[in-house]
Structure 1
Amino acid sequence: MLSALAPQPPLDPVRGPRGLPGAGNLVAFGKDPLAFLTRLRDDFGDAVTWSLGPLRNVLLSHPQHIAELFAARESTFDIAEVGWAFRQITGQSLIRSRGAEWQRKRALLQPAVRPRQVRAHAVTMADCAGSAADRWHDGQQIDVSDEMSGITQRIVVRTLFGNDLGEQTGPLCAAVDTAVRAVGHELRSIGLFLPDWVRTPYRRRLLAAVPTVDAEVHRLIRARLETSDAEERDDLLSRLLVAKDEQGRALSPQEVRDEAVGLWAAGHETTSTALTWTLYLLSQAPAVRARLEAELAAVLNGRPPAVEDYERLAWTRQIVKEALRCYPPVWAVPATARKGAVLGGTPIRAGTLVWCSQWVTHHDPRWFPDPEVFRPERWDPDAPDPVPDHAWFPFGGGPRGCIGSRFAQVEVALVLATLAQRFRFEVPAMDVRPHAALFLRPSQPILATVRKRTSAG
């Protein structure tokens, strides 16, 4: 449940830690971004200036300031560039576009992720999860991250391209994963400021992976263009190829490549990470898991979940929402101030990177009492501590919020329901810390023993 806040507090950024000459706070940020940003809020307040090398930064932690930033991201703030590696994999996709070009591309992509399209792909989501579960046996130990990655990779391949890719699936998935890891490494290192021509080990791996991605995606685009049934197909690649803007213009093959790869990287990584954390949290919360199993038995009665069940699976959705609060796959959103930018009545110098962090705000005890506790009942409609607007924002917000947020939430819920119907996941009590790269992954393998459930639970 969300509620409005009191009148907006003034924004008066205070100076944060000085850092090192030339590097600023890069070392502290790179060592542990989550701890560093949390200390900024705890030690200095809701608006703090800090530095990454030569870049001036401001961290916002108050939900109302975050809401104002999101609302202004197309008028006086730009999406922040996060390094050379990020540009290589995303190209000129929606996430990097601005102004009229961003509006055009968003309008072209929006139909591909509307509720009708989500409905069309719901069967695939449950089917891919069920196929993975078919391979498990009672008492087997699995690597949760690897298994969830396999499920979401298969979902994204089938929903994006319409079918499995056979022997090309492995190399393509590996290349995309290499690219995502390279972006994450550069984000929290000196590589963020290195000239484009410098070839670090991560950049070399990325340069080796990108041709594999490009060759396969362009092959699929050419094959689809040579057929006459693209209008009749429901896969996302076909939707991108037949989309036309108001002037009747289609996306070019290169633009389709950029959007397809962007949807792949973001959709696969965020959902697999969310599922991994959700299963880990459930393994440590028997009462929450028992209530989930009771809901699945009552609503599904042993059959696979369908998209029509999504709204009926209220506790399942609350579990997903709380897991996204505890471990948001996207842990920070930076935006670059343009000339004339203002927040909370305070002018923001052009070129300043303004950050809000899902991790920091999602773990703020002002908005979430006992923030370290996994408590899905926070999201009960009659919860005693309503959550303020923009205190929960795993998918960003405003006009540049994640275009696939609905798709992702339905996918996580249906995959979770499919797996939890059939197995319990037992993870020994352990302190699994998050590792903040491009996405918020576990810092160590989460090994679970799967226990087959009987009809009696």
Structure 2
Amino acid sequence: MTTCSVPLNPVPGPRGLPLLGNLPEFGRDPLAFLTKLRDEFGDAVRWSLGPRQSLFLSHPAHITELLAAREQMYDILEIGWAFKRVVGQSVIMSKGDDWRRKRSLVQPTVRPRQVKTYATTMVDCARRAADRWRDGDRIDVHREMALITQRVVLRSLFGNDLGDRTGALAEAMNVAEHVIGAELRSMTLFMPGWVTTPARRRLRAAVATIDGEVHRLIRARLRGPADAEEDRDDLLSRLLAARDEDGRPLSPREVRDEAVTLWAAGHETTSTALTWMWHLLSAYPSVRDRLEAELDRVLGGRPPTIDDHDRLTWTQQVVKESLRLYPPAWLLAGVARDGATLGGTRVPARTIVWCSQWTTHRDPRWFPHPAAFRPERWDADGPDAVTDHAWYPFGGGQRTCLGARFAQVEAVLLLATLAQRFHLDLPATEVTPRVGLLLQPATPLVATLRARR
């Protein structure tokens, strides 16, 4: 466990309302509120989310210590009924021995060696989309990116794109993500599960659609020949074949929870990240020119493969810098247990300790000119080393995102495949982020396609 050398000196933040605390101000504009805590109060600020006492961290040293100790000294924050309804008791919601067992079973399915096997699927899905595009067409960027990543994750997870059922499943997942994000910003976050609202009814229907299809696939696999799983190379088969150290498999319900979590995490996060990338590339033509020059030099007109990934260094830097400016996952939290400390200071039990990728990634102490899109920040031979956990779009510590490698490889290969063939020209207007479960553009980004000659 990391011991922080930077002392923690918490200060009180803005006064809140009785019972509600700072929830109204946080709910109106979470990004502005958290930035205010950092800029006006300091690196460790006490505030309240409704009735819950909170501590917001901005210094990477404290964030590093928090993330390293999340399993030992912090409980999972129960972030609302909607989120738990979707992901169930998957690895991201488990703790203790249950978490260790599930992580040991799920992690091998997304290790770098396994991710290599999905690279061809990633490129194929991007090429199919580009084959539909025509010079001069106008597209909703996020919708197009979501169609691609939805197909990638469904083929990687289930071995096919599910044919006619793909559309209904995609819509069900979109409803689930929207309801979760809305709940995060409102008082429904604290409502017990038995309280029914229109949004919760929509979520129940969406989860029923998702569960029906996932359980159908699980039953079909379990009814198949005993050696059939050995011939399959999708994530669902790997989850069903996994055994812990005692030889026990995941139960069908546990497989459902892990599969749906991998689906949700592997689809919308990457499509959101790619949407922001196209926005930034359109706004910074010199960055786009350098990207295209690299693609022409490395690929020579052919589609990329996993073997090209490490050679596409500027493409990787574009991805990293986009994730710095617009991290899809923008907030992390843990609930302190008895004995938790940060920077040598005791953290009262049950305090919610927060950190935000948005505010840390845009802190001028760690990133000069933080609002500027500068992929050269990530040059391997650059003069400025990035402070540990000043950049953490996938979290950190033992509970870092299991799909981080999958997501980064996917973003590089999809961007390379599409940028090789098209410019996506967007209007030169400011785009405001909309905060939900993920950080997405508040209004649709409509691009004009320009075929590269």
Same fold, TM exceeding 0.5?
yes
- Map of 1:226 onto structure 2: 223
- Map of 2:113 onto structure 1: 116
Secondary structure at 1:296's aligned position in 2? helix
Deviates more, 1:380-389 or 1:320-329: 380-389
Quick one: distance in 1 between partners of 2:197 and 2:282? 39
Q: Is 1:427 the counterpart of 2:426 in the alignment?
A: yes
Q: Residue 65 of structure 1 aligns to which amino acid in structure 2?
A: H
Secondary structure at 2:419's aligned position in 1? helix
For residue 426 of structure 1, report the CA deviation from its aligned partner: 0.5
Asked if the contact 1:30/1:188 (under 8 Å) is kept, the reply is yes
Secondary structure at 2:382's aligned position in 1? coil
Asked if the contact 1:18/1:25 (under 8 Å) is kept, the reply is yes
Quick one: distance in 2 between partners of 1:355 and 1:186? 18
Please show how residues 2-401 of structure 1 align to structure 2 within 5 Å. Answer: 8-228=5-225, 229-401=228-400
Asked if the contact 1:185/1:202 (under 8 Å) is kept, the reply is no
Q: Residue 352 of structure 1 aligns to which amino acid in structure 2?
A: T
For residue 383 of structure 1, report the CA deviation from its aligned partner: 2.0
- Kindly provide the CA deviation profile for residues 10-64 of structure 1, in whole angstroms up to 9, marking residues without a partner as x: 0011000111111011011111111100000000000001001100010100000
For residue 201 of structure 1, report the CA deviation from its aligned partner: 2.1
Secondary structure at 2:126's aligned position in 1? helix
Quick one: distance in 1 between partners of 2:275 and 2:187? 29
Quick one: distance in 2 between partners of 1:8 and 1:442? 38
For residue 330 of structure 1, report the CA deviation from its aligned partner: 0.2
Q: TM-score, normalised by structure 2?
A: 0.98
Gaps of 5+ in 1: 1-6
Quick one: distance in 2 between partners of 1:346 and 1:324? 32
Deviates more, 1:73-82 or 1:243-252: 73-82
Gaps of 5+ in 2: none
Asked if the contact 1:267/1:404 (under 8 Å) is kept, the reply is yes
Secondary structure at 2:239's aligned position in 1? helix
Secondary structure at 2:277's aligned position in 1? helix
Q: Residue 260 of structure 2 aligns to which amino acid in structure 1?
A: V
- Kindly provide the CA deviation profile for residues 216-249 of structure 1, in whole angstroms up to 9, marking residues without a partner as x: 0000001111222112211000000000000000
Q: Residue 424 of structure 1 aligns to which amino acid in structure 2?
A: H
- Kindly provide the CA deviation profile for residues 255-282 of structure 1, in whole angstroms up to 9, marking residues without a partner as x: 0000000001111011000000011100
Percent identity between matched residues is: 64
Quick one: distance in 1 between partners of 2:174 and 2:162? 17
- Kindly provide the CA deviation profile for residues 267-318 of structure 1, in whole angstroms up to 9, marking residues without a partner as x: 1011000000011100111100000000000110111110111100000000
Q: Residue 154 of structure 1 aligns to which amino acid in structure 2?
A: R
Q: Residue 345 of structure 2 aligns to which amino acid in structure 1?
A: T
Quick one: distance in 1 between partners of 2:223 and 2:300? 45
For residue 384 of structure 1, report the CA deviation from its aligned partner: 2.6
Q: TM-score, normalised by structure 1?
A: 0.97
Quick one: distance in 2 between partners of 1:15 and 1:382? 41
Quick one: distance in 2 between partners of 1:152 and 1:188? 26
Q: Residue 145 of structure 1 aligns to which amino acid in structure 2?
A: H
Q: How many residues align?
A: 449
Secondary structure at 1:51's aligned position in 2? strand
Question: RMSD of the TM alignment (CA)?
Answer: 1.0
For residue 373 of structure 1, report the CA deviation from its aligned partner: 0.4
Asked if the contact 1:358/1:393 (under 8 Å) is kept, the reply is yes
